[in-house]
Structure 1
Amino acid sequence: MKKITKEEVKKVAHLARLELNEHEINNHAEQLEKILEYIKQLEKIDTDNVPCTTRAIEVTNVFRKDENKNSNCIEELLELGPSREDKYYKVPKIIND
């Protein structure tokens, strides 16, 4: 397997808009080599009879019935906002006349 060069790390860092010092470039090159070596090991595993999946454990949604509930906490909720006017939140004007 070919070695990851400093120039390749610099190019990827540039594309990702990262500023790396010389130590970080060397460190990333070593880490990328280890990752690619691990992927090379994984490629040797026979997965022909393994079904595709999106997660290791099957997850199902738990639904509940929608119910209307009357709530008397309007005042409490309005008090949480930074500013209010009557029973509404007051926000800065963003549209010019």
Structure 2
Amino acid sequence: MTIDFFGEKLKAIRKSKRLTQLDLAIRLNVSKGTVSAYEQGLSYPSLETLVKICDILDTSADYLLGISDDLPFKMGALTDEQMESILQFVSLIERSNKNLK
């Protein structure tokens, strides 16, 4: 089992909640650079921090770790298919931006 997509999923959910990296960092009591490292896959949170991330973002560790593809939160009145499309779109844009750099 790998957690290759942890960073992408974390970033997409954070953005869907309209939080900046700094907003999340403050709520986690870590630096903005730490959140950035999580999202880039350069490091991973401790179990204690992972629990806090899940609580703040109203999501599950199973989703973030790739154990489950079920989105455990709702964005307005969107269907599961619409939410998945939005998260895939955000991920696609992020990958595209990386390739442009």
What TM-score range do you get, normalising by the shorter chain?
under 0.3
Higher relative contact order (CA 8 A, sep 6+): 2
Instruction: Decide which structure has greater strand share.
Output: 1
TM-score, with length taken from structure 1: 0.25
Instruction: Decide which structure has greater helix share.
Output: 2
Structure number with larger C-alpha Rg: 1
